[in-house]
Amino acid sequence: MTYQAIRIIPREWHSLPCLRVDLLHEGCYAPTSHKFVVTSKGLRDGKLCSVKVNGIEKEKAGRGFCVVSFDPNTFDYKSASFDTSGDPDKQSAHMASFLNGLRSNSIVAIVVREDAVRRANVSENVTTSMIGFGADEDVSCNISDLGHFDSYAFIGQKLDDRSDRPDWISCKHVKAGAGYAVVKPTITTKSK
C-alpha cells in the first residue's frame, strides 16, 4: 500500500505533547480501529465511571450518568455528566436534550457512576432518546430497568436507519452488589 500524505495533529498538550498521525491513501482516510473499555461501578461496587479509548481515559465523571460522544469523522469527543439521582427530572431532561442534539452516526458511551436513580426512575425522555442509539435491540440495555446503585455501561451509535445497526453496539447492566459492568468493543472508523 502506498500512502500519499502524512498528517500530524496535536491532540492534547499537558506535560508532554500527544499527537495523532494519519496516513492518507489515495485521497481517502485509512480505517482506524479504536479499542473501547467502558466501565461502570455503582456505589456498592467501587463508584467509577470510565471511558477509555486505546488506553487513554476520556472521562471520569461524578455521580449519575456520564455520556461521552465521539464524532465518527474526526473522532473528536465531548462529554457531559447528569446527576439524575440528585435532580432526576431536570437532569433527565438535560440528558435527553444532549443525546437528541448529537449529530447522526455519533458514537456514544453511556455509563453510570455511583447511582443514577436514587429517588426516581430515569425519565421516559432518556429511554426514548436511547432507542436511536441501538439500545432497543437488546433487552439488557433498557435503562428504565436500572435500580438503586446498579452498574450500567453502554456504547452505541446514533442511527437514522436502525437497519444499519453496527454489530459492536453493546451493553451490560449489573445489579447493585453483584459486581461492575464493562463493555469492550473495537470500533473501526474512517476518521480524519
Q: Which residue has the cell 426512575?
A: 121
pLDDT band at 182 (very low <50, low <70, confident <90, very high): very high
User: Which pTM was predicted?
Assistant: 0.76
Q: Who wins on pLDDT, 46 or 127? A: 46
The angle formed by the CA atoms of residues 110, 122 and 63, to the nearest 5 degrees, is: 55
| Window from 34-38, 43-47, 103-107, 183-187 with minimum mean pLDDT | 43-47
Pairwise CA distance, residues 154 & 112, whole Å = 9
Q: Which secondary structure element, helix H or strand E, spans residue 162, and what is its range?
A: none
Q: How far is CA 158 from the centre of its chain?
A: 11
Q: Which secondary structure element, helix H or strand E, spans residue 91, and what is its range?
A: helix 88-100
DSSP states of 2-48: ---EEEEEEEEESSSEEEEEEEEETTEEPPEEEEEEEEEEEGGGT-E
Share of the chain above pLDDT 90, in %: 9
| Structure confidence by residue, pLDDT tens digits, 140-171 | 566 767 777 888 888 988 887 777 788 888 88
Q: Who wins on pLDDT, 45 or 13? A: 45
| Structure confidence by residue, pLDDT tens digits, 64-97 | 888 899 988 888 889 888 887 777 778 888 888 8
* pLDDT above 90: residue 37: yes
